[in-house]
């Protein structure tokens, strides 16, 4: 019961706890620009970005938001300079190794989605370990999209479904939205209610193309390393002012 009272104590008074999003997704953009503004190499922005993500995860947990999905590396990000890609892969691995104990203690369930088989083997090992060690945790579902692409995700779902049809275990007219959703990486966690993108870009960059159909979009000029609790509070206030009609009047 302590968890409920903690939520009440920490949640800013102007937020309605009954109308918080149940699933927040975030496109963590602007690390490179943040570094450039400080006169630092791009990679320093990525390093700082980790702190912002840690903070957001803790904040979601404190305020009783049960799911957070963060876009860490897209299928298109391989087109960046090799040194930057290598740095990111090493960073992900190091952070996982360093943070796992705390995530276990904090009752965080971590999950990864994307084409994980194409990631460096040593990173895959840390990913598997972290998912296995936190699989019974329940305070928050934390999903990191790594080598993730929305189109690739939809295609792999299509292939799996087509195979079942070919094998005769599924009829084409049995393919509906619910069945399709079950073949996506988000089968368990469901669709985000709120999508936040930092650094002002007005695009999805191949993130959760199916799942964001009815998400509320919140775009801020703030660069990802500067995205803090006050910024998240503003995003949630904006979310609570929205009228989610889902096509109704």
Q: How far is the CB of 76 from Mg ion (least distance, A)?
A: 10
Q: Which of 29, 31, 111, 206 is catalytic?
A: 29
Which 202-231 residues touch ligand IPE, going by CB under 6 A?
A: 203, 205
Instruction: Give the integer Cα–Cα distance in Å for 27 and 217.
Output: 11
Q: How far is the CB of 29 from Mg ion (least distance, A)?
A: 4
- SS3 assignment, position 143: strand
Contact between 22 and ligand IPE per CB under 6 A:
no
User: Based on CB atoms, which residue is closest to ligand IPE, 21 or 150?
Assistant: 150
Residue of 186, 185, 184, 162 whose CA lies nearest to 174: 162
**Binding range to Mg ion, per CB under 5 A, among 23-31, 68-76, 118-126, 131-139:** 23-31
Instruction: Give the integer Cα–Cα distance in Å for 24 and 248.
Output: 23
Among 29, 93, 153, 216, which residue sits at the site for ligand IPE (rule: CB under 6 A)? 29
Active site residue 62: no
- Asked whether the beta carbons of 213 and 150 are under 8 A apart, the reply is no
Contact between 29 and Mg ion per CB under 5 A:
yes
Contact between 83 and ligand IPE per CB under 6 A:
no
Taking CA atoms, 49 is separated from 55, 88, 207, 226, in Å, by: 10, 11, 18, 8
Active site residue 18: no
Q: Which of 31, 77, 111, 147 is catalytic?
A: 77
Among 24, 31, 52, 113, which residue sits at the site for ligand IPE (rule: CB under 6 A)? 31
- Asked whether the beta carbons of 110 and 142 are under 8 A apart, the reply is yes
Is residue 32 classed exposed, middle or buried when 0-12, 13-18 and 19+ CB atoms within 10 A define those classes?
Answer: buried
Among 11, 21, 24, 32, which residue sits at the site for ligand IPE (rule: CB under 6 A)? 32
Binding site for ligand IPE (CB under 6 A): 27-33, 71-74, 77, 88, 199, 201, 203, 205
């Amino acid at each position: 019961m302590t968890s409920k009272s903690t939520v009440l104590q920490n949640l800013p008074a102007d937020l309605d706890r009954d109308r918080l999003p149940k699933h927040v997704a975030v496109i963590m953009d602007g690390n490179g620009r943040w570094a450039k503004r400080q006169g630092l190499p791009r990679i320093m922005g990525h390093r700082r970005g980790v702190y912002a993500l840690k903070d957001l995860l803790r904040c979601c947990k404190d305020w009783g938001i049960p799911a957070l999905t963060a876009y860490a590396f897209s299928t298109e990000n391989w087109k960046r300079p090799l040194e930057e890609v290598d740095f990111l892969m090493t960073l992900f691995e190091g952070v996982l190794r360093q943070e796992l104990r705390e995530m276990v203690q904090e009752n965080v369930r971590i999950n990864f989605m994307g084409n994980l088989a194409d990631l460096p083997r040593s990173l895959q090992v840390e990913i598997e370990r972290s998912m296995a060690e936190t699989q019974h945790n329940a305070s928050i579902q934390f999903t990191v999209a790594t080598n993730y692409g929305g189109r690739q995700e939809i295609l792999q779902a299509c292939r799996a479904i087509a195979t079942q049809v070919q094998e005769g275990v599924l009829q084409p007219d049995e393919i509906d939205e619910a069945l399709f959703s079950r073949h996506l990486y988000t089968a368990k966690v469901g669709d985000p209610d709120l999508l936040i993108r930092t650094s002002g870009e007005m695009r999805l960059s191949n993130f959760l193309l199916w799942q964001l159909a009815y998400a509320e979009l919140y775009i801020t000029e703030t660069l990802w390393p500067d995205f803090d609790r006050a910024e998240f509070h503003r995003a949630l206030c904006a979310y609570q002012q929205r009228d989610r009609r889902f096509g109704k009047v």
